Structure 1
Amino acid sequence: METGELPLDINIHDPRWDQNTFMGRAKHFFTITNPLNLLLSDQELHKAQTIVKNYKAGIVTPGLTEDELWRAKYRYDSAFHPDTDQKIYLIGRMSAQAPMNMIICGFMLTFHRNFASVVFWQWVNQSFNAIVNYSNRNGNVTVTEKQLGVAYMSATTGAVVTAVGFRALTKHLPSLVACFMPLTAVCAANCINVPLMREREIRMGIPVTDDSGHKLGYSSKAAQKGIFQVVISRIVMAFPSLTIPPLLMTELEKKDFLKRRPWLSCPVQMGMVGFLQLFATPLCCAIFPQRSSILVKYLEPELRAQIKEHSPNTEVVYFNKGL
């Protein structure tokens, strides 16, 4: 066995930083969501995949350092699904969140007064969300085309109806109030899209394991908790980029600089959204641990009995909550 210069006891099955702390999770997600990961070529990604898989198999690339191993690990994690090991669509990767939301939210905020634009950009946003939700689902549970279609149409309809309804309600109110229409629509859509996209997980359950990673069964209670955490993270993630730019733009548009150059409003607002998303995405993904947990006593009675029989000392089980 080739061991090279690097020891084989580095735990790359888990993130580099302690995931029991918010700061550890934040460092992890700042690395995962770094938009520069999108510039990696297929060759670079497959090289990273080979390094990681070889190391897990006990084979170390000659001359590989620990920092290079972790760099390969995070390149690999940024592009491949943790459960299925399949390469994720480019815009479905978490590293695409900041640039894609910069464009979509920027246009939603800029053109929130036009009915056709409201409908179009809510549709674009939910199409993007559907790809992200599908790409980052729990890979141990399959999703049918019918479920994808229902989730997509329901979230899109919910977002558009919310946005149009809010637009009608705020028609005679100050323009600043109307600026928050995109936020209301996005929050409503997240409450619809994520649960529907992952409805099969609620119905069939997701794998739960003990502390050592041994599968103990499937739980819909764990799925419900994971989906709830994802919805909360998504809603909080939307707040900075859909509230701060409108407030700032209300003041900036009063200045002569933008009055003389109104065409700059969209790129300025888009830049604000992009900057905020660089921080909001990783920090909000870090609110809850990726490897979430639930007490055995809160599981389904049948699963509780099964765990008590085969693993009587287990009081907490773990699961992948998705993103």
Structure 2
Amino acid sequence: MPRRGQCGLKPRLCSVQFLVHRLRGTMSGQLPPNIDLKEPRWDQSTFAGRASHFFTVTDPRNILLTDEQLENSRKIVHDYRQGIVPPGLTENELWRAKYIYDSAFHPDTGEKMILIGRMSAQVPMNMTITGCMMTFYRTTPAVLFWQWVNQSFNAVVNYTNRSGDAPLTVNELGTAYVSATTGAVATALGLNALTKHVSPLIGRFVPFAAVAAANCINIPLMRQRELKVGIPVTDESGNRLGESTNAAKQAITQVVVSRILMAAPGMAIPPFIMNTLEKKAFLKRFPWMSAPIQVGLVGFCLVFATPLCCALFPQKSSMSVTSLEAELQAKIQETHPELRRVYFNKGL
């Protein structure tokens, strides 16, 4: 006898019937039952699914939403989690409310986040700061000012998106801020001195080198507590197994790589374009247009680079049990001898 599903049909027919029922429900405005709003809408095991998720998370239009729209989205999400569904609410509207809510409210504390610290502010803020860093990079005062602005913005973002379980202390935040700013400025000034006698095009890549160096300093320092005490690791079902510093190292490495690659297109492509444009009559006649053109070019790159680089690694990352610390391995093998991989949140 062929195996049958709960709907009384063969498994494949049962799946088809479920999809048809779900589609009809969505088209008629009815919500499918048991939508898990704790998980993203798209399959996070694929790059396409992760990219779709982050294109929504980093949508710059969310910073234009009013307080009333934000509060309405929060109410829809909270009501749905309590089993209260407003009449006529569709699945698309529910997911839209979920992403608006996530874009503005801290996932652990529920507090409204600082506007410029939200993920939806990443593109407009970074395009402005990066564009200016790449335009005004020739003098020491300009390097000092824009690297300071950039690291101040990074500090706001890191503080805004801090973990609710292990918040940063003022000393940790200050140490990371001062160290990253010093590292970025030292890198920029040092490379500027080395590139004075080479092609101007090479000099345009100095800000990128400074940003890359700052990321390598800033992120590990901002997450130093995770490196000391570890981050929670779970089984596939989310059951907590312990804390691992090895998992923290992998998570932080993935975030550093993502952040550097995120900055790369916006800081590597425009220099070639600007180097060509500045030789043309238009910019020689209107040199003040260099900054807005550069900001626009950087912004165009970041609109795509930000979500695509966030999606490079799964948010719910994993590693082999054999890669964990010996003590944690022994604990897991004693309680879960069949377990081969553990999972953890890599952060952003």
Both proteins in one fold, TM over 0.5: yes
1:91 aligns with 2:113: no
SS at match of 2:236: coil
Q: Output the CA distance in 1 between the equivalents of 2:265 and 2:325.
A: 37
Q: Output the CA distance in 1 between the equivalents of 2:131 and 2:90.
A: 41
Per-residue deviation, 1:142: 2.4
1:171 aligns with 2:182: no
SS at match of 1:259: helix
**Equivalence map 1:118-197=2 (5 Å):** 118-197=143-222
Q: Output the CA distance in 2 between the equivalents of 1:89 and 1:152.
A: 18
SS at match of 1:11: coil
Partner of 2:235: 210
Deviations 1:105-136 (A, max 9, x none): 11111111111000110011011111222333
Question: Identity rate of aligned residues, in percent?
Answer: 62
- Measured at CA, do residues 137 and 288 of structure 1 come closer, stay the same or move farther in structure 2, by a change above 3 Å? farther
Amino acid at match of 1:89: I
- Identify unmatched segments of 5+ residues in structure 2: 1-28
Q: For structure 1, which segment, 311-320 or 222-231, has the greater mean C-alpha deviation from structure 2 after superposition?
A: 311-320
Q: Output the CA distance in 1 between the equivalents of 2:39 and 2:177.
A: 32
SS at match of 1:148: helix
Partner of 1:28: 53
SS at match of 1:203: helix
Is the CA contact (8 Å cut-off) linking 2:162 and 2:168 kept in structure 1? no
Q: Output the CA distance in 2 between the equivalents of 1:308 and 1:137.
A: 32
Considering only aligned residues, what root-mean-square deviation do their CA atoms show, in Å?
1.5
**Equivalence map 1:172-321=2 (5 Å):** 172-321=197-346
Q: Output the CA distance in 1 between the equivalents of 2:106 and 2:335.
A: 30
Q: For structure 1, which segment, 137-146 or 154-163, has the greater mean C-alpha deviation from structure 2 after superposition?
A: 137-146
1:77 aligns with 2:102: yes
Q: Output the CA distance in 2 between the equivalents of 1:308 and 1:80.
A: 38
Amino acid at match of 1:222: A
State the TM-score, normalizing by the size of structure 2: 0.89
Q: For structure 1, which segment, 155-164 or 167-176, has the greater mean C-alpha deviation from structure 2 after superposition?
A: 167-176
Q: Output the CA distance in 1 between the equivalents of 2:109 and 2:256.
A: 22
SS at match of 1:208: strand
SS at match of 2:196: coil
Q: Output the CA distance in 1 between the equivalents of 2:322 and 2:164.
A: 25
Amino acid at match of 1:309: E
Residue 108 (structure 1) aligned to one of 96, 110, 133:
133
Partner of 2:68: 43
SS at match of 1:216: strand
SS at match of 2:306: helix
Aligned length: 320
Per-residue deviation, 1:75: 0.7
SS at match of 1:241: helix
Which structure's relative contact order is higher, taking Cα pairs within 8 Å and 6+ residues apart? 1
Q: Output the CA distance in 1 between the equivalents of 2:293 and 2:269.
A: 13
1:19 aligns with 2:53: no
- Measured at CA, do residues 86 and 215 of structure 1 come closer, stay the same or move farther in structure 2, by a change above 3 Å? farther
Per-residue deviation, 1:5: 4.2
- Measured at CA, do residues 129 and 304 of structure 1 come closer, stay the same or move farther in structure 2, by a change above 3 Å? same
Deviations 1:82-102 (A, max 9, x none): 334333221111111110011
- Measured at CA, do residues 29 and 264 of structure 1 come closer, stay the same or move farther in structure 2, by a change above 3 Å? same
Amino acid at match of 1:20: S
Q: For structure 1, which segment, 311-320 or 105-114, has the greater mean C-alpha deviation from structure 2 after superposition?
A: 311-320
Deviations 1:232-265 (A, max 9, x none): 0000011111111111011011111111111111
Q: For structure 1, which segment, 71-80 or 30-39, has the greater mean C-alpha deviation from structure 2 after superposition?
A: 71-80
Q: Which has the larger radius of gyration?
A: 2
